[in-house]
Each structure stands twice: as C-alpha cells, then as structure tokens.
Amino acid sequence: MDQQLHVVTGAFGYSGKYIAKQLQDEGHRVRTLTNSVNRSNPFGGQVEAHPFNFDNPNRLVESLRGATVLYNTYWVRFNYKRDFQHSAAVENTKKLFDAAKRAGVERVVHVSITNPSEDSPLEYFSGKAKLENALIESGLSFAILRPTVIFGDEDVLINKNATQSC
Ligand SMILES: NC(=O)c1ccc[n+]([C@@H]2O[C@H](COP(=O)([O-])OP(=O)(O)OC[C@H]3O[C@@H](n4cnc5c(N)ncnc54)[C@H](OP(=O)(O)O)[C@@H]3O)[C@@H](O)[C@H]2O)c1
C-alpha cells in the first residue's frame, strides 16, 4: 500500500502531538503546519514542519498538496491583546479550509468544542460555530470533533485540579 501523507496542525503542541504519533504508528507520512517551526521536534525530524503561511495562500496550498487528510487543531485559546484573537483564528482557519480545497485534500478532521453556537456570548464558542458552518459549506469531506476537555500529561486544567484536591 502506498504511504499516505497526513497533515496535522500543531504537531509540536498538545493534542496535535498525539494525533501525529498515532498516524506515524499506523505507517503514514506526517507533515505539520505550525506557528512554532523552531520548537524542538519530538519526532526527531521525521515530521516535516511548515509555517502556516496564512498571509501567503499559494504557499499554504503547496504545504497541503498531496495530503489525504488534514487534522485541524489550530485555534487561539484566549483573546490576547493584539494578533492572537479568536476572530483572527476564525479568519485564519477559513483560509486553511480554502487552501485545503484548492490543494485537493480528501478529508478534513476538524477539532471544534462542545456546544458551539453562533449565538453564544463567548467568542470561543461563537467562533467555533462559525468555523463548523464554514467547513460544512465548503464542499470538503469532513468530520467534526466536539470535545469538552482533552486530558493528558500536559493538560493544565485537570492536572492542577487533581493536584490541589489531593
Ligand atoms: N485542550 C482541551 O482541553 C480542549 C478542549 C476542547 C476543545 N479543544 C480544541 O482542540 C484543539 C486543540 O487544542 P490543544 O489544547 O491541543 O491546542 P494547542 O496544542 O495549544 O494548539 C493547537 C494549535 O493552535 C495554535 N495556537 C494555540 N494557541 C495559539 C495562539 N495564542 N496564537 C497562535 N496560535 C496558537 C498552536 O500553535 P503551534 O503550532 O505554535 O503549537 C497549534 O497549531 C483546539 O481547536 C481547541 O479549541 C481543546
């Protein structure tokens, strides 16, 4: 069987690292799109890293070309003062979906959140709802995951609560 190329956003981060590892274990070639190309690569160079290139759509398309599946974990966790806002993450993610379509990616697996709603007063949840709708309307084949919380060794929220309650 030919080795498939799978693209995972943020493979040097939290959930992306586990997705990338599982794909590698299944024998797939993995590439990541990341804001952190210079962060230490836990895959020893076996995962090729490309910047997101949100400002250069043609480059973004090229970094997705040939991919069977795009796993999208990209998001901005909190609203920061300047560039890192939920609204920016929404616009950037739409660019990512457009690029995936232009690149001929066969399927997008998109990580959303539990109970997304465009009516939510919380931008995290309204932004996630906008992105689900954008993906549904894109014509791409997709799967949307809606976790409440993702737990692992690196998780801050659950581990901190567990430590404090001991
Ligand atoms: N963690 C949870 O408990 C939880 C619960 C429900 C839903 N989710 C969803 O699951 C997805 C993955 O979550 P995660 O915790 O695994 O995320 P993460 O590893 O912290 O980040 C995922 C991606 O978003 C980028 N990113 C994160 N914060 C950013 C910022 N301030 N500015 C610019 N880029 C930023 C990361 O950049 P780099 O490429 O530089 O690493 C990475 O590409 C997200 O869409 C999140 O909404 C998470």
pTM above 0.85, yes or no: yes
pLDDT at 26: 96
120 within 8 A of 129, measured Cβ to Cβ = yes
Which residue type is seen at 157? L
Tell me how many domains the chain contains.
1
7 within 8 A of 69, measured Cβ to Cβ = yes
- What is the domain range of residue 63? 5-164
Whether the per-residue pLDDT at 113 is higher than 70: the answer is yes
How far is it, in rounded angstroms, from Cα 109 to Cα 72? 6
Burial 120-140 (b: 16+ CB within 10 A, else e): eeebbbbbbbbbbebbeeeeb
| CATH number, residue 113 | 3.40.50.720
Q: What is the pLDDT of residues 79-112, one digit of tens each?
A: 776 667 899 999 999 999 999 999 999 999 999 9
Is the CB of 127 inside a 6 Å radius of any atom of ligand 1? Answer: no
Among residues 60, 61, 34, 64, the alpha carbon closest in space to that of 49 is found at 34
For a mutational test of ligand 1's pocket, the pick from 75, 76, 132, 146, i.e. the residue with the most ligand atoms closer than 8 A to its C-beta, is 75
Looking at the CA of residue 12, tell me the nearest atom of ligand 1.
Answer: 41
Whether the per-residue pLDDT at 166 is higher than 70: the answer is no
Q: What is the pLDDT of residues 4-51, one digit of tens each?
A: 999 999 999 999 999 999 999 999 999 999 999 988 889 988 999 999
Q: Over pLDDT 70: what percentage of the chain?
A: 96
